[in-house]
């Protein structure tokens, strides 16, 4: 597609519920990133994939967070047993290169845990 | 201390003004410097990308990097109401794959 597509755009979850957030990167992009953006803050790194390999997951805040990209294209970020502090916008970004170049973000999924 | 510090503003200027946005950082290993623009309820959009020190100009936008002072700037000339958005600085090093973002500066350009 023309850009990075994320779904759903908005998600309301009850505390304790599991959620799955989807990212469709730009076709052919090697690198894929997930970031978390709290209200009034800049994005914070969660995890990085190069093709299907998850090379860095140092930003995942707890073992309730899990990400995968099994075929090197679409990625899913899963959050188990959601808590109120998980409420944020989850941004996906992709880059053609496997290096530190600026990348293209999607519009994000706004997660609200009630 | 956060890796990247950015004044959140808000900043309000009249149309046509020159806008100066700034970030400071603490990690001397940072080599890649970017400015993103983020409209409400949208993802960040890459505006400028600079490697190492120096200046880069693109239309009405100029990015400056001073690594000796650990200070980066974005200048917007002839600001337009459509420039009203949050501007995020971001940076990274040669190792690792993540970028470190500032908190963003909210800019409003008044017609």
Q: Residue B101's pLDDT is what? A: 95
Q: What are the tens digits of pLDDT across the range A58-104?
A: 999 999 999 999 999 999 999 999 999 999 999 999 998 766 677 89
Q: Residue A92's pLDDT is what? A: 97
Q: Residue B54's pLDDT is what? A: 86
Q: Is the pLDDT reported for residue A1 higher than 60?
A: no
Q: Is the pLDDT reported for residue A8 higher than 90?
A: yes
**Dihedral sign, CA of B70, A56, B38, B105?**
negative
> Domains (ranges, CATH) in chain A?
5-113 (2.60.40.10)
Mapped onto helix, strand or coil, the DSSP state of residue A84 is: helix
CATH number of the CATH domain containing B37: 2.60.40.10
Contact B98 A104 (CB under 8 A): no
B85 in A contact zone (CB under 8 Å): no
Q: Residue B9's pLDDT is what? A: 86
Q: Residue A11's pLDDT is what? A: 98
B46 in A contact zone (CB under 8 Å): yes
- Kindly state the tokens that stand for A56: 């860095």
Owner of token pair 């914070």: A44
Number of structural domains (chain B) is 1
Q: Residue A31's pLDDT is what? A: 93
Q: What are the tens digits of pLDDT across the range A15-66?
A: 999 999 999 999 999 999 999 999 999 999 999 999 999 999 999 999 999 9
Contact A56 B102 (CB under 8 A): no
Q: Residue A71's pLDDT is what? A: 94
The torsion angles phi and psi of A84, rounded to 5 degrees, stand at: -60, -35
Q: What are the tens digits of pLDDT across the range B23-45?
A: 999 999 999 999 999 999 999 99
**Dihedral sign, CA of A110, A71, A95, A85?**
positive
CA distance A6 to chain B (A): 10
Q: Residue B111's pLDDT is what? A: 96
Owner of token pair 């850009």: A3
Residue range(s) defining the domain that contains residue B52: 4-110
Is residue B58 classed exposed, middle or buried when 0-12, 13-18 and 19+ CB atoms within 10 A define those classes? exposed
What residue ranges of chain B have pLDDT lower than 70?
1, 96
């Amino acid at each position: 597609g023309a850009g990075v597509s994320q779904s759903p755009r908005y998600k309301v979850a009850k505390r304790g519920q599991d959620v799955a957030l989807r990212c469709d990167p730009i076709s052919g992009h090697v690198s894929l990133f997930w970031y978390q953006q709290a209200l009034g803050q800049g994005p914070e790194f969660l995890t990085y994939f190069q093709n299907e390999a998850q090379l860095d997951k140092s930003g995942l805040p707890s073992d309730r967070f899990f990400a995968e990209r099994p075929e090197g294209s679409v990625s899913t970020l899963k959050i188990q047993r959601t808590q109120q502090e998980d409420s944020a916008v989850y941004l996906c970004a992709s880059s053609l290169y496997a290096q530190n170049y600026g990348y293209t973000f999607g519009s994000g999924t706004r997660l609200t845990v009630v | 201390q956060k890796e990247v510090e950015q004044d959140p503003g808000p900043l309000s200027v009249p149309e046509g003004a020159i806008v100066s946005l700034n970030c400071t950082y603490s990690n001397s290993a940072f080599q890649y410097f970017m400015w993103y623009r983020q409209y409400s309820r949208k993802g960040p959009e890459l505006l400028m990308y600079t490697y190492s020190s120096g200046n880069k100009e693109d239309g009405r936008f100029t990015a400056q990097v001073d690594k000796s002072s650990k200070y980066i700037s974005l200048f917007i000339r002839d600001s337009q109401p459509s420039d009203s958005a949050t501007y995020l600085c971001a940076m990274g090093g040669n190792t690792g794959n993540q970028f470190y973002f500032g908190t963003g500066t909210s800019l409003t350009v008044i017609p």
